Amino acid sequence: MEANAVLMFKYAIRLDVPVEELTDFKLIEFIESWYGIRYRYGGNDRTGIDCSAFSKEFISFLFGFAIPRTSSEQYKQSKRVKKSDLQEGDLVFFYTRGRRNGVSHVGVYLRNNKFVHASTSSGVVINDLDDEYYARNYAGAGRMK
């Protein structure tokens, strides 16, 4: 099997979608190039990256424009989107330090309720918005494009 096909199959499984639905190989290659890179607060490269640097890099690489550096600034500058209206590339925000402290984590929505982010425990990974931790701490979503 060709390397591209293997990669597409791998992400079809991670996103729980038919492989035929995955048509953006550039997106899949980008995620694969970062997948598993460890989390480092304030980090912004492959030696370690935090959530907002990852979302900033993602948006810049795939959509060609700059967004703010921190999750709270990304939240403030994005246009609110209902969970039911999420599209690939939208940002999803979380209260990981309690609601009183505001938004403190961000990921990038992919499809099928899945998002990619730099998690403090696992580095760059894909999770589901309905995973208990993320569902409980969900702050909302925003669109930068």
Active-site amino acid positions: 51, 105, 117
CA distance 134 to 129: 6
Residue in 74, 33, 78, 32 with CA at minimum distance from that of residue 51:
74
CB-CB neighbours of 78 under 10 Å = 20
Q: What's the rounded Cα separation, in Å, for the pair 41 and 98?
A: 18
Q: What end-to-end distance do the CA atoms of the chain give, in Å?
A: 36
